[in-house]
Amino acid sequence: MNRFNQILKTRRSVREFQTKRVTRKIANELIDIARWAPSAHNAQPWRFAILEKKELRNKLAREMGEAFKRDLEKDHFPPGVIQGKMQKSFERIACAPLIILVCLNKEDRQRFPDRRRNRLEGLMAHQGMGAAIQNILLGAHAMGLGACWISAPFFCPRTIKRVLKIDNRLEPTALVLIGYPKENPKAPFRYGAKRVTLRLT
């Protein structure tokens, strides 16, 4: 239990990586770890794509950056700020040695005749996706790797499907950036257990 607690409490979101390659064997091991996450009805709605080729990552980063730019323009950010945010986004994605794209398989959901239960089924599927991603993050940390979960695919799913030629039955939900850490982030602030535990009367 002490080993597990150490892994859990020392994991950080790492955004800067060494240039050292992360092997396909490691990527496969992380996906194997991810698939043991719990999911509603054991639907296992997750699908994973390993993005290794630098040219593909660069293209994805550029196209996602353009989608990001359109959103920033709608928010009336100054051009200089937009350019800075786009550059940081590009570098983060393009420079990661390995990226795992996490997609939701919409066909794995249980179907109901009413909208309410179908909506709830979708929410439960996303809960399972989060559990699978957490498995990847903890597995990567246990292997001495750094990782960062980014939810940008929610904001530009069509862009990702077009660039990566992904089936329409799949819904891109997250990118997990993985590599050997170049930074050692400090522990972020966490509320104490007392603060987050509800007292029921």
pLDDT in tens, 52-93: 888 999 999 999 999 999 999 999 999 999 999 999 999 999
Q: DSSP string covering 66-130, please?
A: HHHHHHHHHTT--HHHHHHHHHHHHHHHHT-SEEEEEEEEGGGSPP-SSHHHHHHHHHHHHHHHH
Tell me what pLDDT residue 45 has. Answer: 94
Residue 41 and residue 68: Cα distance in Å, rounded? 35
Global model pTM greater than 0.85? yes
Q: Which residues of the chain have pLDDT under 70?
A: 1
- Structural domains for the chain: 11-52+97-184 (3.40.109.10)
pLDDT score of 133: 98
The pLDDT assigned to 107 comes to 81
Q: What is the pLDDT of residue 111?
A: 82
The reported pLDDT for the residue numbered 1 is: 65
The confidence score (pLDDT) of residue 90 equals 94
| Conformational region of residue 143, where left means phi above 0, alpha means psi within -120 to 50, and beta covers everything else | alpha
